[in-house]
Chains A and B, each alone.
Chain A
Amino acid sequence: MSATAPEPTVVQTTPALELRDLEVSYRVRGIWRTVLRGVTLSIARNEAYGLVGESGCGKSTAAFAALRYLPRNGRVMNGSIHVDGEDLLSMSEDEVRQLRMSKVSMVYQNPTAALNPSIRIGDQVAEVYALAGDSDDRAHERAQEMLSKVQISDPVSVMRRYPHQLSGGMNQRVVIAMALATNPSLLILDEPTTGLDATVEGEVLDLIKTLRGEFETSLLFITHNLGVISKMCERMGVLYAGRLVEEGPVAEVFDRPSHPYTIGLVRCIPRGGVRKDKETLDTIPGFLPQLGAELPACVFTDRCGLAEEICRQQEPPFHRVTDGHCSRCHFYERAHTLPRATGAPPVPRESPREAPVLEAHGVRKTFHQEGHAIQALADVEFALKEGETLGLVGESGSGKTTLARLLIGLSAPDEGSIVELDGAQLAGSVNKRKRDQVRALQIVFQNPDSALNRRFSIHRILGRALTMLTGEHGEKREERLRQLAHSVRFDVRLIGARPAQLSGGLKQRVAIARAFAGEPRIVVCDEPTSALDVSVQAAILNLLVELQAQKKVAYLFISHDLGVVRYLSDRIAVLYLGRLMELGAAESVFDPPQHPYTEALGSAVPTAEGTERTRIRLVGEIPSAASPPSGCVFHTRCPRYIGDICKTEEPELREVEPGHFWRCHYSAEQLRELQKTPPPGRGV
């Protein structure tokens, strides 16, 4: 067992991972279907390589292949895989196991599922060392060391706990600790931060960056998030339909993307403070081809705005754009002229009326659990005007979804809370609301898979909603149904399909259509695009903007993606531990002066532009709502902590500028002055 650095000669010559002409197929329903089409890439020692592409492009397959851990129906048809110079495909099972134990490790997306729920953290981490031949005591000792290296502040107590007692971010640190325990030469990270909050994501990424330096490990970083790639990696590859379409140094690729697919991906993301009334988001037309489908010579032809006859006939070579930057496009030199797929933003019918449609005053919600009262929402106040979008942001556990469920009547608020629709108090439970009130307030859920009944056809799903909400039947209903499908750009010919037959984007369109069936006044959108790929997300966001312009509906838009919220929202509300910390116009909330919590949230988001911002590190985890901190609930993590006043006195939500509210002891002027410089690191 040697944990020492490899010999210097090897460092120079052998890449940590080398895939050559790798072709992988899955056998589905008796037919071999190609997933990876001749992928060639190599990751040098100490290099971080990012692999991007939408889901279904073969990213994870590439990762599994690199571990020779394909599902049972998967097979490497062609090509070679070398890890640290060793040919993986010619190894015996035993040798592969040895290799996984010593040279390659993997970190998966869902840390809670990656850990065994019934084994204590300490034992799980120690197992890695014990397998490598350490005695039990020694293994535990080293496990503890490793846990402190991943910046777990109290490793001794963490080792005694079970995975469910730790937060997602903590669990991911443990998984990373286990992956690095053997000091591997290659670490594969498959969407390691996708399920985590922005603040936690930022921390985990920082940690990976630090550890990378310390362990001299090469990284294969798989993600759909371009921002993460630009922050973490030196080189990147773009995968489309199992083919590497572009590769190069990260800065180069972002600066001068030279494949239409890469350009499309970059344009899909709401960036740089672009807003819905200024610009529509670009999308990539069409769909990812089905697995095993016959593809034209250039795999992207069918979705490409630049495609010509040659693209069908002749496979483009890997053109050299600059040194080390290659693009598999015949027209790589003019790829940047790719026409936009979407037009100008829709013009809203008229400016929003002043009287609010929905008003919430002193909304509280307390859950009772085993004798503990958990206050999920405390004195939430806001008003929603017609045709307006109010963005709602905050970490998980801040009460966003509780608020959404409460507004639509799936759970009742505490006594004394006031929720008014057009000035009339709404009953707590949807069962007690009038039909007009029910149809006025609808929701689009996060996950269309579970929001649509999988046994019903789209026709039945939408038809039933129309019948129940508008009371229409027969031919009249059919007519409305067609209009409804048309308004969300859902092809009427697919109306007989069931949800499982549709792509994620189409399913979400159906869910949106259902919400709009009764001509609602307010639609709550609970992370409606977070389960979707970026290009689909862009199309859905465009649709929401268009529907809003046509129908003057107001949105309460919940998202953890600040870029999306910023793009869509007129005003933004920031929740922390069930309390409204800041509320104001979208333009003002994201620029100083801003509430210290908003400041930290904003700084945690990695951007695709790659502009390095000073990240404000929030200390520790979000406290439990069962015992919120005294005084200002944010004082335990606040980067702008003043002193005892924060501990003892809870600040009121007050108007600091016209239309801009926050809950902080500082005044607007004070924070404006302070936020010119990043805060001093506190307790880090």
Chain B
Amino acid sequence: MSSFGEPIGSSVTAAEPPAQAESTLEPAPSEAKVIRRERLALLLRSKTFIAGAVILAFWIVCAIFGYLIAPDDPLLTNPVKALQAPSSSHLFGTDTLGRDVLSRVIVGARDILIVAPLATLLATAMGTLLGLVTGYYRGFVDDTLGRIIDAILAVPVVIVGLLSLVALGPSTVTVIFVIAVVFTPVIARTVRAAVLTERQYEYVAAARLRNERTPYILFGEILPNVMGPVLVEFTVRLGYAIFTIATLSFLGFGIQPPAPDWGLQIFQHYGLISGGYWWPVLFPALAIASLVIGVNLLADGISQVFER
């Protein structure tokens, strides 16, 4: 809108000898730092971000110190105490094998908080690479890879996941890879769009005009400029990854027993709800919901700041 909108404080002021127009004095404090500090300040002022961060921090603490915090051993079976309702000795009750649900919910954060970020990180790395290449080359490369991406996107995530897990056999590593592969095209699309904008800026042409090789142009010149969207995409996908992993676990193809995974707990107990045993299902479900909401709030906060 007005020309004052942005560059305030960014243009360097100087009084100078009249003989030479426009050479400058005082070096300004590094603007990059200022921008970073400002973004942080904006993040900390965003209620969405804070709420998300608090929820996520809570679960991270549970994931790291779970065994110390948990009142009981989450793996200790005790058939005598099976399916006890919440009480003062077991706040969240016990499950079919008499394990403490509260302890299992606390410790259950660990698996998902390892698997989901790893899968998302892998997907982000592959998606960014693919996005850079398709966005930069366009033409044949873009058309070919683009169609493949479209094909993957056209198939429902859970179906692809299930089929590959059936074929490969369920294990934590497979889950990571499957989710990474399924999420890669989505991230690639976002990055590609950002690269399409960047590649028409003349700094890319300038790089070609000093004989830079293509990998340098992609990773040295363009990548730093698309890190904003990449970061936003990572946090958004993280929320989806958590959700997808929980879904796969619920279907029995995700994290395997006896791990106290939340999705798995729901899978093992949902048949009992009709019998009035709601606690072994409700608490893990709330845990999943809160983590997904937390990550999504975080993602919202970040994207508001980065996509201003």
- Asked, given contacts A60-B2, A489-B23, A491-B24, whether A410 binds B12 with beta carbons under 8 Å apart, the answer is no
B28 A539 Cβ-Cβ under 8 A: no
- Asked, given contacts A305-B18, A454-B225, A494-B12, whether A500 binds B7 with beta carbons under 8 Å apart, the answer is yes
CB contact between A290 and one of B1, B11, B212 (< 8 Å): that residue: B11
- Asked, given contacts A285-B22, A430-B209, A464-B210, whether A497 binds B202 with beta carbons under 8 Å apart, the answer is no
B14 A498 Cβ-Cβ under 8 A: no
Complex CA gap A341/B211 in Å reads 39
Interface centre among B14, B23, B211, B221 (most CB of A within 10 A): B23
A430 B28 Cβ-Cβ under 8 A: no
B contact set with A: CB distance below 8 Å? 1-5, 7-28, 30-32, 38, 201-203, 205-206, 208-212, 221, 224-225
Chain A to chain B: the 5 pairs with minimum beta-carbon distance, closest first: A283-B21, A468-B210, A450-B201, A451-B202, A455-B224
- A409 contacts B by Cβ under 8 Å: yes
B27 A469 Cβ-Cβ under 8 A: no
A496 B27 Cβ-Cβ under 8 A: yes
B8 A341 Cβ-Cβ under 8 A: no
A286 B2 Cβ-Cβ under 8 A: no
User: A490 — which chain B residues lie within 8 A by C-beta?
Assistant: 23
Number of interface residues of A (CB under 8 A): 76
- A502 contacts B by Cβ under 8 Å: yes
Closest partner residue, chain A, to B18 (CB atom): A285
User: B17 — which chain A residues lie within 8 A by C-beta?
Assistant: 285
A-B contact pairs, 16 of them (CB 8 A): A26-B4, A28-B9, A61-B2, A284-B21, A286-B15, A291-B4, A293-B13, A456-B224, A465-B210, A468-B212, A489-B23, A496-B27, A498-B31, A502-B12, A505-B22, A517-B210
Chain B: minimal CB distance from A421 (Å): 14
B22 A451 Cβ-Cβ under 8 A: no
A503 B11 Cβ-Cβ under 8 A: yes
Closest partner residue, chain A, to B29 (CB atom): A501
- Asked, given contacts A451-B202, A452-B203, A497-B27, whether A506 binds B5 with beta carbons under 8 Å apart, the answer is no
- A445 contacts B by Cβ under 8 Å: yes
- A624 contacts B by Cβ under 8 Å: no
Chain A: minimal CB distance from B203 (Å): 4
Complex CA gap A60/B5 in Å reads 12
B203 A451 Cβ-Cβ under 8 A: yes
CB contact between A430 and one of B19, B24, B208 (< 8 Å): that residue: B208
User: B5 — which chain A residues lie within 8 A by C-beta?
Assistant: 71
Complex CA gap A29/B35 in Å reads 12
User: A517 — which chain B residues lie within 8 A by C-beta?
Assistant: 210
Other 13 A-B pairs with CB < 8 A, given A74-B2, A287-B12, A456-B224: A29-B38, A283-B22, A285-B16, A291-B9, A442-B209, A445-B206, A451-B201, A468-B212, A469-B210, A489-B20, A497-B28, A500-B7, A500-B31
User: A288 — which chain B residues lie within 8 A by C-beta?
Assistant: 11
- Asked, given contacts A494-B24, A506-B24, whether A286 binds B203 with beta carbons under 8 Å apart, the answer is no
Complex CA gap A283/B20 in Å reads 9
B27 A445 Cβ-Cβ under 8 A: no
B206 A514 Cβ-Cβ under 8 A: yes
Quick one: CB contact mask for A274-314 with B, threshold 8 Å, 1 for yes?
A: 00000000011111111111000000001101000000000
Complex CA gap A409/B210 in Å reads 11
User: A343 — which chain B residues lie within 8 A by C-beta?
Assistant: 19
A497 B12 Cβ-Cβ under 8 A: yes
Quick one: CB contact mask for A83-110 with B, threshold 8 Å, 1 for yes?
A: 0000000000000000000000000000
Interface centre among B19, B22, B26, B27 (most CB of A within 10 A): B22
B11 A502 Cβ-Cβ under 8 A: yes
Complex CA gap A464/B178 in Å reads 40
